[in-house]
Amino acid sequence: MVNWLVISGIGMVLLVILLFNSLVRLRNNVKNSWSGIDVQLKRRSDLIPNLVETVKGYADHEKKLLTSITKARTSLMESSDKKNIAFQDNLLSDSLRSLFAVAENYPKLRADAHFLQLQSELSETEDQIAAARRIYNENVAYLNTKVESFPTNILAKIVGFRSEDYYGEGMGSGRKL
């Protein structure tokens, strides 16, 4: 009887360790994929000042749009919580889309090699952001399933693991520039 109690006790401890480690690994994956989004957002932010300068040279009349892009970029860089980052990211994406739509009216700008290069780099970055968002959301889904399903939910409550929010739910999903 005592032997059985010892064996099941050891079994329980091992199970708890295993479940705890799996939760930690999933949480780290979510953090890791968040930093993936962060890297791509920074990369896009770095391209924007150059883009604004290039467009200014040809389309000075679009001051309002250019200012909104600069503002959105600054707000995004200053944001620290995920929800706000997702919101600002969406605003910036929309402004950039408007800018590229407006650029259609300026043939000289469309012919500028530097502008085309920036447009291509930004389009590539938008793709990467969209992919990073999807990976992040998939990872969050893994974590949330684990946190909410039995028996991990008990352990998660005890050690303080919580479900994470999906990135920009109901917001832009990386439409092409």
Partner 1 sequence: MAKVWDPAGSYDEAKAKAALAKLESEIEVLRDNPGKPKSDLKKILLYSSAIALFLIPSAIFLRIPELFYYPGLIILFIGFYTLHRYKVLARKYIKLQFMRSADWVFYPGPEPNRGLQMKKAFPELFDRGDEQYFEDQFWGTSGEIPLHGGIFHHITYQKGAKVSNTKKVEYYWHYAAFRIKTKNHRFLLSPESTFLKLRNLFSDKEINTESIEFNKEFAFSYPGSKEEKGMHIMKALSPAVQLRLLELKRKRGEFWVLFAPDCIIFMMKGKLIENYSTNLFKDIEVSQQDIDTVSYFFNDLVSIAKDIVRHLD
Contact window for partner 1 (CB under 8 A) among 21-29, 63-71, 110-118, 148-156: 21-29
Is position 138 an interface residue for partner 1 (rule: CB under 8 A)? yes
Is position 149 an interface residue for partner 1 (rule: CB under 8 A)? no
Is position 40 an interface residue for partner 1 (rule: CB under 8 A)? yes
Contact window for partner 1 (CB under 8 A) among 60-68, 78-86, 127-135, 160-168: 127-135
Nearest CA to 138 out of 43, 44, 37 is that of 37
How crowded is the C-beta side of 133, counted as CA atoms within 13 Å? 23
Tell me which DSSP letter residue 171 carries: S
Contact window for partner 1 (CB under 8 A) among 60-68, 83-91, 121-129, 155-163: 121-129
Q: Return all residues near 142 (Cβ < 8 A) that are at least 6 apart.
A: 26, 29
- Smallest distance, partner 1 to C-beta of residue 132, A: 4
Residue 94 or 127 with smaller CB distance to partner 1: 127
Options 23, 36, 99, 156; binder of partner 1; rule CB under 8 A: 36
Q: How far is CA 83 from CA 62, 64, 125, in A?
A: 29, 26, 20
Nearest CA to 88 out of 70, 69, 75 is that of 75
Q: Return all residues near 137 (Cβ < 8 A) that are at least 6 apart.
A: 166, 167
Is position 21 an interface residue for partner 1 (rule: CB under 8 A)? yes
Is position 77 an interface residue for partner 1 (rule: CB under 8 A)? no
**C-alpha to C-alpha distance for 36 and 39, rounded to whole angstroms:** 5
Contact window for partner 1 (CB under 8 A) among 26-34, 66-74, 92-100, 158-166: 26-34
Is position 121 an interface residue for partner 1 (rule: CB under 8 A)? no
